[in-house]
Amino acid sequence: MKIETIEYPEVENVQHRIAQVADAIIEDYEKDIETHSLPTELNNPDRTVISEILDNLKRLILVGYFEDSGSSVYTVRSKLFLVLNDIMCHLSQQIASVLDLMPGYMNVDGKKRIQVSEGFCLLFIEKLPKIREYIKTDLLATFEGDPAAFDNKEIIYSYPGLNATLIYRIAHELYTLAVPLIPRIMTEYAHTLTGIDIHPGADIGKYFFIDHGTGIVIGETTTIGNNVKIYQGVTLGALSTKGGQKLNGVKRHPTILDNVTIYSGASILGGNTVIGNNSVICGNTFVTSSVPDNTRVANEKPHLIMNDKEKDKSLIS
């Protein structure tokens, strides 16, 4: 690419030139291009606020790890009550910002919009005990499954797998309430933090353990049973997405039954693919058909070539 030499531009008529750019952008907005969204009465979802909501939810779900351990029960209860009210306020505002995307609520506005959003938020808050129940089993599975784990505190504060799973479980409950966009923002936030990409629509059972985790992808229609362990680089994906939106709502991702271990680099693809109970999927395998219970799936043992560098000079760089 040829770069032309440009004389150093003079800074003059700054405000006028900025105004011209603003006018050009506004003119482009008015063409109804789908790559923009002008603010509505309640604006658009705020990713910073959503990340703060997740932090507060973490304080509620993992009580004791993010509060003063010396606090009395009354003090902790008071703090949690305040945090719950903060979540109620901010999450309901975020839900209100996406209400137009929810079937049946497109024309709701004003006071009714806030009431509807608070209703959805309250339904979500009532699911927090369930999320706590599930994440406690994930924590136990992580500690029992990893000999390198020192204690629960190390796992909670430093393990990306548990962090990604916790955010997924929060997002999944919003997803099941048909709240759009916000659950995906949450799991993509987790993806950014951990390198683990779990779609909020996936259905994951108890005692779920992600070891190391980087590069894991779990698709929207994936179903995972109980006591499943997954290593880094695993893909639970679709065979093909060339059908685009025609595949919306179709089971595209695999089903993993109970007590399955999937080692690093394995790809399991397809909505009709079922991995049977107590099976092991070895590393770097490519699975596109169902596997019976109690099965070990592996590639053939690789054939290694070892040459003497002194005899084969071509190996020396």
Q: Provide, rounded to the nearest whole percent, the portion of the chain with pLDDT above 90.
A: 64
189 and 106 Cβ atoms separated by less than 8 Å? no
| Shared domain check, 145 and 54 | yes
Tell me: the pLDDT tens digits for 259-279? 999 999 999 999 999 999 999
**Residue type at position 77:** R
Residue 249 lies in a domain: yes
Residue 33 lies in a domain: no
Which candidate, 125, 114, 135, 132, places its Cα nearest to that of 83?
125
Q: Long-range contacts for 65-73 (Cβ within 8 Å, ≥24 apart)?
A: 65/153, 65/156, 65/157
| Shared domain check, 285 and 251 | yes
Residue 10 lies in a domain: no
Q: Is the pLDDT of residue 38 over 50?
A: no
pLDDT for position 30: 65
Name residue 210's beta-bridge partners.
230
Tell me: the pLDDT tens digits for 140-169? 999 999 999 999 999 999 999 999 999 999
Residue 174 lies in a domain: yes
Tell me what the mean pLDDT of segment 116-126 comes to. Answer: 93
| Shared domain check, 283 and 266 | yes
Query: pLDDT-derived band of residue 23, with 50, 70 and 90 as boundaries?
Result: confident
Residue 180 lies in a domain: yes
| Shared domain check, 191 and 75 | yes
Residue 30 lies in a domain: no
CA dist list (Å): 228 to 92, 131, 174, 285:
34, 18, 23, 17
Looking at residue 106, the DSSP 8-state letter turns out to be: T
pTM: 0.84
pLDDT for position 243: 77
Which candidate, 242, 196, 245, 204, places its Cα nearest to that of 221?
204
Please report how the helices 160-176 and 128-145 are oriented relative to each other, as an axis angle in degrees rounded to 10: 150
Domain residues for 211?
Answer: 202-300
| Shared domain check, 146 and 76 | yes
Tell me what the mean pLDDT of segment 62-66 comes to. Answer: 72
Tell me: the pLDDT tens digits for 199-252? 999 999 999 999 999 999 999 999 999 999 999 999 999 997 777 887 788 899
Boundary-marking domain end, from 147, 178, 196 = 196
Boundary-marking domain end, from 196, 218, 237 = 196
**Residue type at position 209:** F
Residue 16 lies in a domain: no
| Shared domain check, 188 and 80 | yes
| Shared domain check, 215 and 179 | no
- CATH code for the domain in which residue 235 is found: 2.160.10.10
Please report how the helices 47-61 and 160-176 are oriented relative to each other, as an axis angle in degrees rounded to 10: 110
Indicate the number of domains in the chain: 2
Boundary-marking domain end, from 171, 196, 221 = 196
Euclidean distance between CA atoms 5 and 76, whole angstroms: 65
pLDDT for position 79: 77
| Shared domain check, 185 and 255 | no
192 and 173 Cβ atoms separated by less than 8 Å? no
More confident: 212 or 308: 212
| Shared domain check, 189 and 46 | yes
Give residues with Cβ within 8 angstroms of 315, minimum separation 6: 307, 309
Q: Is the pLDDT of residue 314 over 80?
A: no
- CATH code for the domain in which residue 160 is found: 1.10.3130.10
Tell me what the mean pLDDT of segment 80-107 comes to. Answer: 89
| Shared domain check, 181 and 129 | yes
Tell me what the mean pLDDT of segment 116-135 comes to. Answer: 93
